[in-house]
Amino acid sequence: MLDSLITSKTRLKLLIKFFVSSTNKGYLRGIAEEFNESTNSIRKELNQLTDAGYLNKSQENNKIYYRANVEHPLFQSLQNLVRTFLGIDQAVDQVLERAGDVEQVSLLGDYANGIDSGTIEVLVMGKDLDSAYLLQLSGKTEKLLGKNIKIYLEKPLEVKQQIILYQKEK
């Protein structure tokens, strides 16, 4: 859906990186290495997104960092669009509907870092969770989205970045 609307693969990757989570940031060379693309194509897209007001840039230690402009009037819409494109919204809704007493749902791995790698890693925490249902759900969601789904019931030790998609009110 989104990839037919935004034909530049580089721009699509940048939108995923910065709008899946407002805390994601990056600098030119780092993003070029991460995406395995030339700095020129990354620079062009970063400049266009910054000029349009979708990204903010700031200088830290001789590097210019970019991040999503959360004050932009379309920030929430873009973030929702990116999350819908990745299929995150559907997965969370289904988990909350029948998985048990869910306290928190978080996005882990590449997608938490804004990389569309094809594997969505989700951490589901709560009491009396129906692990059989979650396993069945991941299989169905994989077929629906055409992406691999990994569901964790405990936070893996190697995880550094996570995006909380749902937090139960206390």
> How many C-beta atoms lie closer than 10 Å to residue 92's C-beta?
19
Name residues whose C-beta falls within 8 Å of residue 17's C-beta, 6 or more positions apart in sequence: 24, 26, 31, 34, 113, 114, 115
pLDDT of 98 reads 78
What tens digit of pLDDT does each residue of 37-84 get?
A: 899 999 999 999 999 999 999 999 999 999 999 999 999 999 888 877
> How many C-beta atoms lie closer than 10 Å to residue 101's C-beta?
10
Task: Report the C-alpha gap between 66 and 33 in whole angstroms.
Answer: 15
pLDDT in single tens digits along all 170 residues of the chain: 555 567 677 888 888 888 877 778 889 998 888 777 899 999 999 999 999 999 999 999 999 999 999 999 999 999 888 877 777 776 677 777 778 888 888 888 887 776 778 888 888 899 888 888 888 888 887 887 788 888 899 888 887 767 777 777 76
